[in-house]
Structure 1
Amino acid sequence: MAPAGLFPIGLVGCGTVGTGVVRILQSSADLLAAQAGQSLTLRHVVVRDLTRARDVDLSGCAVSDSLDALIADPSVQAVVHVVGGVEGPRQDIVRLLQSGKDVITANKALLCAHGDELFELARSLGRTIGFEAAVAGGIPIISTVCTALTANRILAIEAILNGTSNFILTRMLDRRQIYDDVLREAQQLGYAEADPAMDVDGTDAAQKLAILAKLAFGTAIPFDRIARQGIQNIDLQDLLAAADLGYRIKLLAVARLMTERLEVSVQPTLVRADRSIAMTSGAHNFIAIEGDAVGVLKLAGAGAGRLPTASAVVADLVDCVTGRAACTFQALLRLQQRNPLPLHPSADIARRQYLRFNVADRPHVLADIAHVLGRHGISISSVRQDETEDSVDGTGVARLVILTHRAAEGCLQAADNEIDCLDSLRGPRIRMPIAD
């Protein structure tokens, strides 16, 4: 057993977040001891590659490439698990819980896929799982939903939950750069992975939204039921056109109650430029959460990165030491026992839309598109066409932007299918909702 006044800790994974945890434990040891009432002592570190150099001092703890020694140490009561992937981490956390240890994780993909299973296992064993760092990095949104807002019925969540996409969209507009160039810069700065697909296609934000929606609304949402669209097809001209119209384009994660049904989506969306969420720049996250009593709360800050994410992990550790984690985890379990809400049929969701087409610069093209929209009950609010050089033979390409009045998604999809068959289209087009 550990000496009185010491709280031994295990760490699985010593990459970006793991090294951040070590740094905070070492640099803020006195502050953390005062907060926790005990000294947090790192006793075991488990890594994949023992030969890899790391920029933190691990000389005071046992370093291995196996969980076995960590699991066998009865003095370790809490383990930080910050390894990516799903199946391997699931097996690790099951073993850790079964060995009598509380677990802190930042793995949103794991919780999205197996959260219910792991939470139930932890409950049955009298253990806890802390996961503040899994959503929005250093922003304390999990504790806000689970404890601070318990007097409220949550009505809506509107958020920027992926810093990589927000960085790309911000940089493109501010520096008038194209998507591919900014993506490369994001990779060089460490904001985007070598394979950025999960960030830019909306997967990462959708996983985080599913976790938040489960806590806020007591409803498990199958991942494939979240309307999801990425930012890959947005070009600089879309951002400039939106800005001219008084909007910014953001990858918006939304979960809201609509007549006792739940609407969930992750889509690039036009947001009024004077709104706080539109002014969230760079790799920052933003979450607006509306309660029936408190109104709208707004939280913003670093949604990723070594130290912001590690800050949330260490906060969960301190909660484990003080006993707050057990109270919060029980509150979380109670939140999940509510009657689930039905999902609002996506075809019935009505919103204004931004439509952008690259079309042949010839007569009747706009009329053809307007005719299709009109047949499906979609009313046009405004039309903008960039000026092009005169093309006598009709080989020129024009850029056409249409804003619509509110229209149901089912009608829009039916119109999409017809418009895709028009021979006047030249290259990809895009459709994005406009936030009211």
Structure 2
Amino acid sequence: MPKTKVAIVGVGTVGAGVARILLDHGDRTAKNAGTTLWLEKAVVRDLSRQRDCQLPDGVLTDDLNEIINDPEIQVVAQLMGGIEEARTTMLLLLEAGKDIVTANKALIAEHGPELFSRAHELGRSIAFDAAVAGGIPIITNLTQCLAANQVTSLVGILNGTSNFIVSKMEEDGDNYHDAVREAQQRGYAEADPTMDVDGSDAAQKLAILAHIAFGAAIDWKEIPRVGIDSLDPVDLQFALELGYRVKLLAVARMTDKGLELHVSPTLVRIGRPLAEVRGAYNAISVSGDQVGDLLYHGLGAGQQPTASAVVADLIDTAVGRTALTFRTLKLFTSHNPDVAICSPEKIVGRYYFRFLVDDRPGVLAEIATILGEHHISIASVIQHEPDYEGDNAVVALIIMTHTATDGDADAALEDIVRLDSVRAGIRKLRVQD
């Protein structure tokens, strides 16, 4: 059987998983690729560091030039993290005539146009299915399997770390900091989990998917986003009482006002597939104009799910499928000028409001009047009895709205917070029915 020499740059968690698949399941990959994927080199920064895989003698090196200067190495899995060094390394590999497979979504979200344009100029390809949703082949599905469709909406849980944390808070009653600590202990969260919990990671992935699905030119930093780092467990409990679970949803939806984009904690009705996604799993609901509604569900992170996606891309690249798709789609090098981004204040949806208010007559009427002035209709209300009676008693007031614009909701809250009867700490969450 013919041999295709491949290399890995970065033998961390994912890189070690890729090496193990290539070395332990060579017969399987050869059968699917029609060629033996031969691991020729693996480049690391520190040769003395322990690796989660056993590499043959002569494979491990700290010299990138051993890949660059070897014309027999045709495909490189670039699995280093970060942005600037990863960008420089990818450009060097492309210019050396290598096809690239990557799992670095931050790099694609930040420098996709530059890297993909350079790859086209050099006649090379970049495969990146592992960059979004780990083992879920969402990019392949959007670019190939759904090619007969215009995607109309894409709604997903794209960050397994956040989903694990919220699940722990809801199911076990953990506070936010304890849930983060357990996520770190299990390897789901980094020592600094900021990108996961503030919505940035999901926004980067959403920008990539929205570009593929809708052709829009999107800077991920301009996507409105709210993370789970400000979630209060009390809102998770009120959501359950109302028949919902809170999930960090990434949304790209075509509307008559343009492409709606946002990442935020959202109430999802219990029984809907996205509401039942627990732990570190990801799920993506896609609607196409021909196929209808589809759901993709699986582990969105972790060593072997991500390594599985990387090796699938290595196989597609070795076979030649990646090159054909890459040349045809011209991802990140062009965009659809007809796709306008919907202004955040024009986004339409339902909302959950939580107020801490004085327990006295007329408070609900005051709030309802302001909501009405901003064209917001109340769908339901929850108010429990106060813990004590008296002039200083306060209660949580929960209001679920009918549909309204985000701009009207924010303007109403600005007026409501000025009421003498309303204490600080208003909470607004989106609702997905």
Q: Same fold (TM over 0.5)?
A: yes
* Counterpart pick for 1:389 among 374, 387, 390: 387
Quote the residue 2:340 is aligned against: 342
Does residue 147 (structure 1) correspond to residue 144 (structure 2)? The answer is: yes
CA contact (8 A) 1:147 1:331 kept: no
Deviation at 1:200, TM superposition (A): 1.0
* Counterpart pick for 1:30 among 23, 27, 33: 27
Q: 1:30 to 1:403 in 2, by over 3 A?
A: same
Quote the residue 2:310 is aligned against: 313
Per-residue CA deviations over 1:287-332 (Å, capped at 9, x if unaligned) read 1111111111111101100000000000000111111111121233
CA contact (8 A) 1:146 1:335 kept: no
Per-residue CA deviations over 1:229-278 (Å, capped at 9, x if unaligned) read 11122222211211121111111111111127211111111111111111
Q: How many residues align?
A: 432
Task: Give the Cα separation in 2 of the matches to 1:313 and 1:384.
Answer: 48
CA contact (8 A) 2:112 2:332 kept: no
Q: 1:322 to 1:332 in 2, by over 3 A?
A: same
CA contact (8 A) 1:233 1:430 kept: no
Task: Give the Cα separation in 1 of the matches to 2:109 and 2:332.
Answer: 16
Deviation at 1:420, TM superposition (A): 3.3
SS across alignment from 2:275? coil
Quote the residue 1:8 is aligned against: 5
Runs of 5+ in structure 1 lacking a partner? Answer: none
Task: Give the Cα separation in 2 of the matches to 1:196 and 1:231.
Answer: 11
CA contact (8 A) 2:257 2:346 kept: no
Alignment of 1:28-427 (within 5 A): 28-259=25-256, 261-333=258-330, 337=334, 339-340=336-337, 341-394=339-392, 396-427=393-424
CA contact (8 A) 1:146 1:331 kept: no
Task: Give the Cα separation in 1 of the matches to 2:244 and 2:136.
Answer: 25
Per-residue CA deviations over 1:13-42 (Å, capped at 9, x if unaligned) read 111111111111112111111111221111
Q: 1:126 to 1:416 in 2, by over 3 A?
A: same
Runs of 5+ in structure 2 lacking a partner? Answer: none
Per-residue CA deviations over 1:63-92 (Å, capped at 9, x if unaligned) read 222312211111111111111111110000
Moved more, 103-112 or 426-435: 426-435
CA contact (8 A) 1:166 1:281 kept: yes
Deviation at 1:403, TM superposition (A): 0.7
User: Identity over aligned residues, as a percent?
Assistant: 50
Instruction: Please tell me the residue identity of whatever aligns with 2:104.
Output: N
SS across alignment from 1:167? helix
CA contact (8 A) 2:167 2:278 kept: yes
CA contact (8 A) 2:258 2:341 kept: yes
Deviation at 1:357, TM superposition (A): 2.0
CA contact (8 A) 2:47 2:61 kept: yes
CA contact (8 A) 1:355 1:430 kept: yes
Per-residue CA deviations over 1:34-60 (Å, capped at 9, x if unaligned) read 111221111111112222111211233
Instruction: Please tell me the residue identity of whatever aligns with 2:201.
Output: D
Task: Give the Cα separation in 1 of the matches to 2:343 and 2:176.
Answer: 33
Task: Give the Cα separation in 1 of the matches to 2:4 and 2:283.
Answer: 34
CA contact (8 A) 2:23 2:39 kept: no
SS across alignment from 1:401? strand
SS across alignment from 2:169? helix
Q: 1:418 to 1:218 in 2, by over 3 A?
A: same
SS across alignment from 1:357? strand
Task: Give the Cα separation in 2 of the matches to 1:422 and 1:26.
Answer: 67
**TM-score (ref. length: structure 2):** 0.95
Instruction: Please tell me the residue identity of whatever aligns with 2:272.
Output: R
CA contact (8 A) 1:143 1:328 kept: no
Per-residue CA deviations over 1:173-213 (Å, capped at 9, x if unaligned) read 22122222211111111111111111111111110010001
Q: 1:423 to 1:63 in 2, by over 3 A?
A: farther
**TM-score (ref. length: structure 1):** 0.95
CA contact (8 A) 2:203 2:221 kept: no
CA contact (8 A) 1:219 1:336 kept: no
CA contact (8 A) 1:283 1:302 kept: yes
Quote the RMSD (CA, aligned, Å): 1.7
Consecutive aligned runs of 4 or more in structure 1 exceeding 6 Å deviation = none
Deviation at 1:125, TM superposition (A): 0.6
Q: 1:294 to 1:174 in 2, by over 3 A?
A: same
